[in-house]
Chain A
């Protein structure tokens, strides 16, 4: 039999799900990001047009989402590496709280700046 979904309802499993989804979305976003950066080399005018387009609220909102995903993935990844590489000390949930907290802060800071 397979694992029952009810067995997965604990903080570290939800953290894993966030990490995987953010990892996949970031991977999908990355080629697009490089494509836009590439415009700077020989299509600067088109890049300016593109940046004008990104000034819409909906796009800003999506950007905030990306920043939060990146922050969640970064802090979540650092959390995993701390868990695995530093000597173990019953702190899984403390680390998770720190990662989640930093993610929220990153989201708020971004929303404030733009």
Chain B
């Protein structure tokens, strides 16, 4: 391990260039530690985003040596190439400044995919009893830990090809709700995700699944949505 890390950081918005920094290398250093060091000790004007530092809030994702990652839980030792790091904002989102992207479109798509829960019971009703080992509950479990970091969205070629594509995270959210037996908006949601800006646009590149830091497989959920949309269409429910 050399003592110095050569870091190139994107400065600007869509137009800009990389700026070089030399950052002291420390043991167990995360990529977010590197960015924080630059901002605190070398250039206070550097813009970046983080909150929890422990992989829960989903705000710290960036492009690290070309690959989208959560930076608070990515160790430098895992990603540095020849003692060098290249840091850029996430792809497929407008750049506000430096490492900060505007994520509104990303989250608006969750709403477009009917990512809201639609209750069928009121607080006066008894608790729903959902069997933990039912296939639906297991499907929901597999996707429910999403932290909304946007890594999958930044890794998906289809998002790049057609910017109106809902993208893996929003579709994964829709899939968890399709499997929630307490939810009452199944057909509306299938309609919302069942067109060619929705699950049908996915080409199963599996990049989202490859990169998701929570080891979620949006590809699996999207495949499930494709089957659910197909069945609903055959039944005439759409």
Contact = CB atoms under 8 A, between A and B. Distances in A.
> Contact size class for A?
10 to 19
Contacts of B91: 1-4, 7
A13 interface: yes
Q: Which of A13, A83, A88, A92 has the most CB of B within 10 A?
A: A88
Nearest to A90: B217
Contacts of B189: none
Interface stretch (B21-29, B105-113, B176-184, B201-209): B201-209
B92 A88 contact: no
Interface residues of chain A: helix, strand, loop or mixed (majority)? helix
Given A84-B223, A84-B226, A88-B223, A7 B204 contact: no
Interface residues of B, number: 31
Interface residue SS majority, chain B: mixed
Contact of A10 (B203, B207, B223): B207
The 7 A-B pairs at the shortest CB distance, nearest first, are namely A6-B66, A12-B206, A4-B66, A88-B220, A84-B223, A1-B91, A10-B210
Interface of B: 14, 63, 65-68, 88-92, 95, 154-155, 157, 160, 203-207, 209-211, 217, 219-220, 223-224, 226-227
Interface of A: 1-8, 10, 12-13, 16, 80, 83-85, 88, 90, 92
